């Protein structure tokens, strides 16, 4: 499968095609330096774009998701999809859709699925990451936990991408925008052009961090 084939597939997800193509470009670049990790694989739409980018360099994409759906995807909530509900288990189950998409795309040797909550997956994590894509739970606690727990593993020059950034609260939830703003305010990241609701930052090296940040700190 090639990137131009993705639009022809019916893959559930909320990622715009332009955002997906940007993820593909970023993953293609980052995978030359190390592994890529996404939080929130859902049914595999973002995984396709990231995975195809990684595959060009024989890279690896780790996809972290408990595959039980986020808070707003549960029965009775705004984004509940009955197709994803497993009647036998009485729970949302997106992993069967995710696995099918990965296999159909021929990404079995590229994508490593970690079926666990983000907080559990990171607990013993020690592998440096060349790119981190955050698109997991959109509550403030979930988004903040993903940001704090995983960004410390991003190498200098690595890419941090955050999905669903809406500056206006009337357009969407504010948790992704909040963690994106935290990253920008930290001075540790260089802002790259956004694509629709996809925010992209590059981790600065120690020599690139603005000197005024050090003078403001109370050591």
Q: What is the pTM of this model?
A: 0.91
Q: Residue 173 belongs to a domain with what CATH number?
A: 3.40.50.150
Per-residue confidence of the chain (219 residues) as pLDDT tens digits?
Answer: 777 777 656 788 889 999 999 999 999 999 999 999 999 999 999 999 999 999 999 999 999 999 998 777 777 877 787 778 888 878 889 999 999 999 999 999 999 999 999 999 999 999 999 999 999 999 999 999 999 999 999 999 999 999 999 988 888 889 999 999 999 999 999 999 999 999 999 999 977 777 776 655 543
Is 178 strand, coil or helix? helix
**By residue range, what is the domain housing residue 161?**
3-216
Cβ pair 1, 52 in contact under 8 A: yes
Q: How many domains does the chain have?
A: 1
Residues 6+ apart with CB under 8 A from 174: 140, 166
Is 208 strand, coil or helix? helix
Does 177 qualify as catalytic in the annotation?
no
Q: Is the dihedral of CA 189, 147, 160, 207 positive or negative?
A: positive
Active-site choice (66, 138, 163, 177): 138
């Amino acid at each position: 499968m090639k990137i131009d084939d993705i639009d022809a597939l019916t893959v559930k997800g909320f990622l715009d095609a332009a955002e997906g193509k940007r993820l593909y470009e970023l993953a293609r670049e980052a995978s030359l330096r190390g592994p890529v990790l996404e939080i929130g694989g859902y049914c595999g739409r973002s995984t396709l774009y990231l995975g195809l980018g990684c595959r060009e360099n024989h890279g690896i994409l780790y996809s972290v998701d408990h595959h039980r759906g986020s808070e707003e995807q549960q029965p009775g909530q705004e984004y509940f999809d009955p197709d994803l509900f497993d009647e036998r288990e009485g729970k949302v189950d997106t992993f069967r859709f995710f696995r099918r998409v990965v296999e159909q795309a021929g990404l079995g040797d590229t994508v490593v699925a970690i079926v666990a909550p983000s907080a559990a997956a990171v607990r013993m994590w020690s592998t440096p990451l060349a790119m981190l894509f955050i698109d997991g739970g959109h509550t403030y606690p979930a988004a903040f936990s993903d940001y704090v727990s995983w960004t410390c593993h991003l190498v200098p020059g690595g890419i941090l991408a955050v999905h669903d950034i809406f500056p206006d609260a009337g357009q969407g939830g504010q948790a992704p925008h909040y963690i994106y703003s935290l990253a920008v305010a930290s001075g540790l990241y260089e802002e790259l052009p956004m694509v629709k609701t996809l925010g992209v930052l590059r981790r600065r090296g120690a020599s690139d961090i603005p000197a005024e940040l050090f003078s403001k700190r109370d050591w």
